[in-house]
Amino acid sequence: MTVSRVLNGTGRVSPAMRATIQQAAEELGYRPHLAARGMRSRKSMMVGTLVQNEPHNKLTHPLTWAFILGINDGLAHSSYTMALVRLTDVLEDGGLQAPVFKGHLLDGLIAVNAIPSEAESRLEDLVPRCVWLDANVWRPINCIRRDEAHAGALATKALIDAGYRRLLCVRGHGPAKHFSLDLRLQAIHQEAQSAGLEVEEFAPPFVFRWPNEGWDAVYKFVDALTPETGVIVENIYAADMLSRACTALGKRPGHDFALVCCDAHMGGGLEWPQLSHVSFKRYDMGLLAAKMMLSILEEPDTACPSQLIQGEWMAGETLQPNKKQQ
Amino acid sequence: MTVSRVLNGTGRVSPAMRATIQQAAEELGYRPHLAARGMRSRKSMMVGTLVQNEPHNKLTHPLTWAFILGINDGLAHSSYTMALVRLTDVLEDGGLQAPVFKGHLLDGLIAVNAIPSEAESRLEDLVPRCVWLDANVWRPINCIRRDEAHAGALATKALIDAGYRRLLCVRGHGPAKHFSLDLRLQAIHQEAQSAGLEVEEFAPPFVFRWPNEGWDAVYKFVDALTPETGVIVENIYAADMLSRACTALGKRPGHDFALVCCDAHMGGGLEWPQLSHVSFKRYDMGLLAAKMMLSILEEPDTACPSQLIQGEWMAGETLQPNKKQQ
DNA sequence: CTGAAAGCGCTTACAG
DNA sequence: CTGAAAGCGCTTACAG
């Protein structure tokens, strides 16, 4: 018992006793057996991170990676270890097939990105505590999200301030998968309206699948670009593909049209410092989510208010002042 | 005891008894407590994935993400769960500070990417079984690696076959961090030599930090590009940045010079199907590593021979036949 | 085919 | 400040 107290740093033990025990532990190379501890204390000392995965789309959005690294680093030097959990494991068979959930393996779970609403309540049954990171779940506590409305407004305002009167918004096909896209789109239209402008929406096939769907759509879109046109795109990947398509046809962002992007973060492989963009530091948000989880687990009585994280506007050469306007 | 046999599917139990027990388990909503099981059986049913991280470089190479997802999916429907482990946890204090290692939390570990040699032997002391994925560890068993020599040769040969006689190889600053770069470079020179050609090496600052180090280096490099020049770059990110720098100065890959890339994989965010490249399916390699680990854990007596994975050549429009040559 | 016994390595709750 | 006792939920090894 005294040994347990010394090794856990709990309770009062005489300094002499403490020294003796610590020395013995060191000499014997003592390593605690976490499974035994977990069994008795009913805590696994494991936090899961839930990642979206789909059977037909193996590669989850690469921006998720920065979240994961942030969460993992936020747990460093704590007593917790991070497990990666698949969304499909929650959906299949009510989550009771996967050992993580079936076996009481997690003390808490951080759900990242869009989580189907069916999974939301299941998760809370399966895991004691949940934190929602950039997810479609938004409550007064335990959530962290990018402020997408702010990002959309920033990008739109930058174009308007630079003198662009013709605004195009490039978006993906079909209904938005992530909550953020709708929020942002709304803010873009609103910001334009308050300046007396309209935003045209484009869902050109080539942004994501160029040139699989033929060159016609590409020509048409690129032809419509003028030096007075400001284009707003979703993220750095979309910006990159669009820029490449335009450049191939002789129109360069920052020269022949203006390009701004609502969601980017340099340092994650794809570097494009010249891109005018709103920067979201996903790594830092991951850190924050981990700290929130630690607080929830270690001080269950202290509520953690949700946080809306604003992106930072990063001016770049793809947005030049509109010369005709000035 | 009979209950245990039924729920684990071990030993012989009469069908009647089995049915009774299974029904009772279902009615009571029985979920096994993995910590208790792990304590008794001395198995944690956890596999770790070791990720490179550095205190001053928070964002690990995004290509690692595909490995992680592959490993995680390869463990799906097995009894194992994946934990993410930080390289710094192994290096600090001999790995005995982090609960994952100290607490006997892992049955096996998959080490991804370059692992410092000091960590190699420590890991094997800390964890019962290791698999090395695209790491600098290469042995007869338990390793999986990209065949970088093959990739370098493929890319070089493609340029030569298309009639390019002036070959440039763009590489990063300083000594190569990952084993693959040296192996590849060697193969590039060798392939060129066997065709009676030389390869010039360039380490232009702008590839990774453009234009932080000024435009002079950019101008100089781009000026030297001719329609007879074939450029070999490391990966899709480098290709993208180089292409953007060149295009900004009026030279387009596939028109004003040829561009090939030794390591890319579409579907991971950055899409560039027109890029001539060697494609490595990291997700599939991750799957393979997971399967290898499962085999090692479940059939310890069957050796798993190491595997060298060859990339696939994907022709694209950034490499056109050299017109002057034909 | 079935089950009583013992024990894995810890912690909780209590007595000195 | 220190420690003997009991038990967490499983599995292993053995007896019927």
Determine the average pLDDT of the residues in A207-231: 75
Minimum distance, in Å, between the CA of residue A111 and any CA atom of chain B = 16
pLDDT band, very low/low/confident/very high, at A249 (cuts 50, 70, 90): confident
- Band (pLDDT 50/70/90 cuts) for residue B208 is very low
Q: Cα–Cα distance between B270 and B63 in angstroms, integer? A: 11
CB A158 within 8 A of CB A319: yes
With 90 as the cut, is the pLDDT of residue B3 above it? no
Average of per-residue pLDDT values in chain B? 88
Spatial distance between the Cα atoms of B216 and A215, rounded to a whole number of angstroms:
36
Query: B105-119: per-residue pLDDT in tens?
Result: 999 999 998 888 888
For A271, which of B51, B89, B241 is closest by C-beta distance? B241
Residue of A nearest to B272 (CA): A241
Condensed to tens digits (0 to 9), the pLDDT of residues A1-33 reads: 788 888 888 778 888 888 888 888 888 888 889
Distance CA B279, CA B312 (A): 5
Across A190-204, B178-192, B262-276, least confident range: B262-276
The helix (H) or strand (E) run that includes residue B51 is strand B46-51
Give the Å distances, CA to CA, from B309 to A47, A268, B111, B179, B284. Answer: 34, 25, 17, 15, 10
For A:264-283, CB contacts with B below 8 A are 267-274, 283
From A70, A73, A81, residue closest to B83, measured CB to CB: A81
Nearest-CA distance B61 → chain A (Å): 6
Average pLDDT of every residue of chain A: 88
Find out whether A270 and B237 touch, Cβ atoms under 8 Å. Answer: yes
Q: What is the pLDDT of residue A214?
A: 62
Whether the Cβ atoms of residue B225 and residue B231 lie closer than 8 Å to each other = yes
At residue A147 the predicted structure's pLDDT band, cuts being 50, 70 and 90, is very high
Angstrom distance, B277 CA to D8 C1': 57
Among A236-250, B156-170, B271-285, the range scoring the smallest mean pLDDT is: A236-250
Min distance B83 CA to chain A CA atoms (Å): 4
CB atoms within 10 A of CB B134: 26
Q: What is the DSSP letter of A325?
A: T
| CA pair distance B80, A98, nearest whole angstrom | 9
Is the minimum distance from the CB of B39 to strand D below 7 Å?
Answer: yes
Q: Which of residues 40-69 of B touch strand C (CB under 7 A)?
A: 40
* Amino acid symbol at A35: A
Question: What residues of A are in contact with residue B8 (Cβ under 8 Å)?
Answer: none
* Partner residue opposite B272 with nearest CB, options A31, A100, A244: A244
Task: Give this prediction's pTM.
Answer: 0.93
CA–C1' B51–D7 (A): 39
Task: Mark yes or no for CB contact A34/B105 under 8 Å.
Answer: yes
Model pLDDT for residues B47-67, shown as the tens digit of each residue: 999 998 877 777 777 888 999
Query: Which residues in chain A (47-106) have CB-CB distances under 8 A to chain B?
Result: 49, 51, 53, 58-66, 68-70, 72-73, 76, 79-86, 88-89, 96, 98-100, 102-105
A206 has pLDDT over 70: no
Residue A59 predicted with pLDDT over 80: no
Look at residue A115 in the predicted model and tell me its pLDDT: 84
- Residue A261: its H or E element: strand A258-264
Closest alpha carbon within chain B to A48: B83
Tell me the DSSP string of A91-154.
HGGGGTSSHHHHTT--SEEEEES---HHHHHHHHHHSSEEEEESSS---SBSEEEE-HHHHHHH
Give the helix, strand, coil percentages of chain A, each rounded to 5. 40, 20, 40
CA B51 to chain centre: 11
Q: Which of residues 141-200 of A touch strand C (CB under 7 A)?
A: none
Name the 3-class secondary structure at B139. Answer: coil
Rounded CA-CA distance A168/A225 in Å is 9
Q: List the one residue out of A288, A289, A292, A311 whose CA is nearest residue A303.
A: A292
